[in-house]
Amino acid sequence: MILKILVIAGIIALLYFIYKKNKAAALNSKKEAKEEKQKEKERANEMIECSTCKIYCELNDALLSNGKYYCSKECVKKIK
């Protein structure tokens, strides 16, 4: 009788620790995803210099042509 109770208690404890481990892993993955999203947002606000007119514009607004960044289509056409 006592052996059955100990086995059941052991199984319950094992399931509890597995549940806690999975919950902690899920929280860590959510935290990592949030940090990655924050880094992407910071990169999006990064300022770069136009290769033609030398003004600064945001990276997500800039145009990439031949490995150089430009602020507008007009600046790209000036080079060609």
Model pLDDT, residue 12: 94
Domain ranges of the chain: 1-44, 47-80
Give the least confident one: 13-17, 21-25, 75-79.
21-25
What is the rounded distance in angstroms from the CA atom of residue 75 to the CA atom of residue 64?
11
What is the rounded distance in angstroms from the CA atom of residue 74 to the CA atom of residue 22?
54
pLDDT tens string 19-53: 888 887 777 788 888 888 888 777 667 889 999 99
What is the rounded distance in angstroms from the CA atom of residue 67 to the CA atom of residue 7?
66
Beta strands in the chain (DSSP E): 47-49, 56-58, 63-65, 68-70
DSSP assignment letter at 1: -
